[in-house]
Structure 1
Amino acid sequence: MPDTIITILSAFAPLMSSATWLKATTLIKGALLCRGPRPITSLLRVLGLSNEPRFEKYHRVLNRDKWSCVLCAKILLGLLIALLPSGFPVIVLVDETLERRKGKQIKAKGYYRDAVRSTQKKVVKCLGLKWICMTLVVPLPWNKRPWALPFLTVLAPSKQANEKQGRSHRTTVDWTITMVKLVTRWLKRSWILVGDGAYACIELGHRCRKLNVTLISRLRLDACLYEFPEPTPKGKRGRKRVKGKRICSFKDLAQDASQHWIEADVKWYGGQLLRIRYLTGVHLWYKAGEKPLPIRWVVVINPNQPDRTDVFFSTDTNLLVTDIIRCFVLRWNIEVTFEEVREHLGVETQRQWSDKAIGRTTPVLMGLYSLACVIAKEMRQSTLLQPALTSWYDKKDQATFSDVIAFIRRTIWAEKYFSNSSMSDDFIKLTPNDADTLINQLAMAA
């Protein structure tokens, strides 16, 4: 492989033995070059190792060899933090994604709502594995849209699977709290966590405030918000009040024209500049059995969709309204990442069956998405990253992940087959084996 790729991958070398490291780099190279499904056999075939007699040793990297996905995530986060421009905030997006898998040997599977196939009127449930993924928002030089680069992916077994194994069930929020603790320990600085309505939880909000993390999410229209309690008169006995009077619902606020609505220009979905109207305030979010959580809420009305009301909140009550909206709008980038790892890195096509291999393969493929961006940014310093342009698809000089992975593949193929060719010859000499390998890659179905 090119020296640039080897230098970046060498950051993970201390986590493995030398033998495991050689096999792991081989699989990474195969995963970058492979098209279509990503079973281990396809990775070996693309590297010309179809006749490898000890092919099972490459399977052991995932199902037997000793190395830690968590420590790899820590190192990967360090590589991604280095890509952030000076002064750019650390924004982490969190969301869950479904890997459609079935089979008796897959123990952690369960039935979940398939967000891709479901609509507002019809809910489609699918058998598979639920992964909770954290991604770092990073602006990259080849695209105006900041990308969501995965660094930590955790398998959340279903409730039925935990009961069968005799383990206590952990919800999505429980796993997220553990991940927040890990990331805070790694970063040792304040950062912003952005999630959809599934992460609008008072318990998660309290944990984030305790760890100096700002939680930004979406609120329901019927959320119970209260005024702050009035000071207790001196000498009054009894339990102190934890909340004041309840404020009216967000649905009523959105229909109240007498409110002091404020207009502002914000960067909306799709990168367009949109003029919105909003209301904001600081109140206590309360639920029975939970300690009240102070939040800044924002009611947003889009003039293009006047019947729709969006409500966002932040646990940092001093955060600007425009920053809250901007951070939540960035959350959509994680959905783009989920689509691209399926399309270009073969997530859901691997066929491992052991528990350890299942728990490692998807996080590795997610992390490979981020590694590819780190590699491409480093290569771009010496080689031009040219987006693939066609007459029917004008990318406006903005590269997509398909361009990034093609850029890396081209560099690897050139290093492997053409690095020793003379610059003055009229033709390039290839060995029969190399020519056969290249022709097979062109001939095989993706």
Structure 2
Amino acid sequence: MPQLPARFAGIILAFAPLFVQRSWRHAQVLLIGAILAPGRRTVTSVLRITGRSQERHFVNFHRVLSRAAWSPRTGARILLRLLVDAFVPRGPVVLGLDDTIERRWGRRIRARGIYRDPVRSSDAHFVKTSGLRWMSLMLLGPIPWARRVWALPFLTALVPSERACREQHRRHKPLLHVGRQLVLQARRWLPRRDLVLVGDSGFSALLFLDAMRRISVTAVTRLRLDAALYDPAPPRSPGTIGRPRKKGARLSTLAKILTAKTTGWQRLIVPNWYGTGERTIELTTDTAVWHHSGLPAVPIRWVLIRDPEHRFMPQALLCTNLAQNPAQIIEWFVQRWQIEVTFQEARAHLGVETQRQWSDRAIARTTPCLLALFSIVTLLATRLPACERRRVAATAWYPKPQPTFSDALAAVRHAIWREQGLATSRGRSDRTKRRFTLPTPWAYALCHAA
């Protein structure tokens, strides 16, 4: 196994209490090999890249994922503590929540289902795919050396399909139910911090927003332009019988406010609009109560946005914190796009969708570990000297002003390989220069097709 730089030891050893001593040795090999391996992230690829291709007891490395007794949830708690200490030591902790489809086929993968492929589909073209659905909770933290916000996964859960739950005689949990459980777990892990949850329109549901309000989590999502908004309920008069009122008079919809000539608009310059630089927008905001028959009433602050240059359609946002500044609400919601970037980077550079496990436990562990590897690599890159972590792989046809995740991964790999390659100087009586032999892991990484 390649030797780790001393500056990486503190982060890697933080996960040692998850395992017994023998399993921890195997888990270290899997972790380092997953960072170094190109292409597929299978256990065999990890063994090859770490120089263990002739390991007779290779099955023990497979058993770390399929049989070993360790808790991914405890590992997620350790990772969250490391991320918060490194990137958000003070102030509100902004979390991003979203689901993704891992394209997988095979009759022995019991949790898979048939879903709409969000990457290949469009408004006019519907594409179905077979795969696993995952719900991931990420920390939206500023990375100082990258000068931008990254979405760092730390807790990911599998959402089995309805067919799989029916065949296993288990109750199916909808996406919103799984998302609420993940956020509740983060709330228990960070009881004294202010939490802000950012999600897309799929989380704009009254039951979900009411659950966030009850656990003191500020939720920021999209809002329908035809949502039923009301004034707050009037004060209850003494002696009144019956149930208390939930709402007051009905207000105009946001669609009518958008077209009304009496609407007052104010201009705002957003510093980073979905990674495209500054963007000037117009907004109007107010508070209301969002209510639907049979569902809880949720007080919200809505923010209606339009583009004076008509480059995007008008949209509305909501925030469950009525006192929040509209500019801050927009800034939080724009950061949600980093979640999609993380999913794409994990597929391109960490081998998500290339693993080949069939065991239910191995499937439920491998993808969350690969997504968490995105955050671990970011933590390791933070420990590198500034000149190394800011090194950018730019070309004449692709200028890149700031480092991306691929640059951070390359810097971490370079540090690990350098530790292995330069640790060969020994005191020898003879000064004869030996012929250089390319190490087997290097030959595998450089010469074999990805």
Q: Do these two structures clear the TM 0.5 threshold for a shared fold by scoring above it? A: yes
Structure 1: distance between partners of 2:319 and 2:189: 23
Structure 2: distance between partners of 1:92 and 1:300: 23
Provide the residue aligned with 1:402 in structure 2.
406
Q: Does 1:273 align with 2:281?
A: no
8 Å Cα contact 2:48-2:441 kept in structure 1: no
Instruction: Indicate the SS of the match to 1:127.
Output: strand
Q: Within 5 A, what are the aligned runs for 1:180-195? A: 180-188=183-191, 189-195=193-199
Shift in Å at residue 436 of structure 1? 4.1
Provide the residue aligned with 1:248 in structure 2.
252
Shift in Å at residue 6 of structure 1? 2.7
8 Å Cα contact 1:421-1:428 kept in structure 2: no
Instruction: Indicate the SS of the match to 2:86.
Output: coil
Provide the residue aligned with 1:325 in structure 2.
330
Unpaired runs of at least 5, structure 1:
none
Structure 2: distance between partners of 1:263 and 1:125: 41
Q: Deviations over 1:206-228 (max 9, x none)?
A: 11111111000001122111111
Q: Does 1:216 align with 2:220?
A: yes
Provide the residue aligned with 1:388 in structure 2.
393
Shift in Å at residue 111 of structure 1? 1.3
Instruction: Indicate the SS of the match to 1:269.
Output: coil
Shift in Å at residue 422 of structure 1? 7.4
Q: Deviations over 1:81-115 (max 9, x none)?
A: 01225544310000000000111111111111111
Q: Does 1:339 align with 2:344?
A: yes
Provide the residue aligned with 2:305 in structure 1.
300
Structure 1: distance between partners of 2:295 and 2:410: 51
Q: Deviations over 1:419-441 (max 9, x none)?
A: 23379x99985774x53442332
Q: Deviations over 1:41-88 (max 9, x none)?
A: 111111121111111110000000000110000000000001225544
Q: 2:381 aligns with which of 347, 367, 376?
A: 376
Instruction: Indicate the SS of the match to 2:416.
Output: helix
Provide the residue aligned with 2:156 in structure 1.
153
Shift in Å at residue 242 of structure 1? 1.6
Structure 2: distance between partners of 1:430 and 1:312: 65
Question: In the superposition, relative to structure 1, how do residues 250 and 192 fare at CA in structure 2: closer, same or farther (>3 Å)?
Answer: same
2:251 partner letter: I
Provide the residue aligned with 1:27 in structure 2.
30
Q: Deviations over 1:246-279 (max 9, x none)?
A: 2122111111121122222223222522221111
Structure 1: distance between partners of 2:263 and 2:285: 10
Q: How high is the TM-score relative to the length of structure 1?
A: 0.95
Q: Within 5 A, what are the aligned runs for 1:30-429? A: 30-84=33-87, 87-188=90-191, 189-267=193-271, 268-305=273-310, 308-380=313-385, 383=388, 385-396=390-401, 398-421=402-425
8 Å Cα contact 1:195-1:216 kept in structure 2: yes
Structure 2: distance between partners of 1:427 and 1:86: 53
Shifted more, 354-363 versus 409-418: the winner is 409-418
Structure 2: distance between partners of 1:385 and 1:324: 30
Shift in Å at residue 232 of structure 1? 3.7
Question: In the superposition, relative to structure 1, how do residues 207 and 57 fare at CA in structure 2: closer, same or farther (>3 Å)?
Answer: same
Structure 2: distance between partners of 1:249 and 1:373: 44
Unpaired runs of at least 5, structure 2:
none
Structure 2: distance between partners of 1:405 and 1:53: 30
2:214 partner letter: K
Q: Deviations over 1:184-209 (max 9, x none)?
A: 11011221000000011111211111
Structure 2: distance between partners of 1:313 and 1:357: 39
Structure 2: distance between partners of 1:50 and 1:120: 47
Q: 1:3 aligns with which of 1, 6, 25?
A: 6
How many residues end up aligned between the 2 structures?
Answer: 443
Question: In the superposition, relative to structure 1, how do residues 427 and 378 fare at CA in structure 2: closer, same or farther (>3 Å)?
Answer: farther
Structure 2: distance between partners of 1:435 and 1:271: 43
Question: In the superposition, relative to structure 1, how do residues 430 and 37 fare at CA in structure 2: closer, same or farther (>3 Å)?
Answer: farther
Structure 1: distance between partners of 2:88 and 2:432: 44
Q: How high is the TM-score relative to the length of structure 2?
A: 0.94
Instruction: Indicate the SS of the match to 1:353.
Output: coil
Shifted more, 255-264 versus 370-379: the winner is 255-264
Instruction: Indicate the SS of the match to 1:9.
Output: helix
Structure 2: distance between partners of 1:334 and 1:166: 33
Structure 2: distance between partners of 1:177 and 1:142: 33
Question: In the superposition, relative to structure 1, how do residues 143 and 385 fare at CA in structure 2: closer, same or farther (>3 Å)?
Answer: closer
Structure 1: distance between partners of 2:352 and 2:379: 20
Shifted more, 435-444 versus 49-58: the winner is 435-444
Shift in Å at residue 164 of structure 1? 1.1
Question: In the superposition, relative to structure 1, how do residues 168 and 333 fare at CA in structure 2: closer, same or farther (>3 Å)?
Answer: same
Question: In the superposition, relative to structure 1, how do residues 428 and 343 fare at CA in structure 2: closer, same or farther (>3 Å)?
Answer: farther
8 Å Cα contact 1:417-1:430 kept in structure 2: no
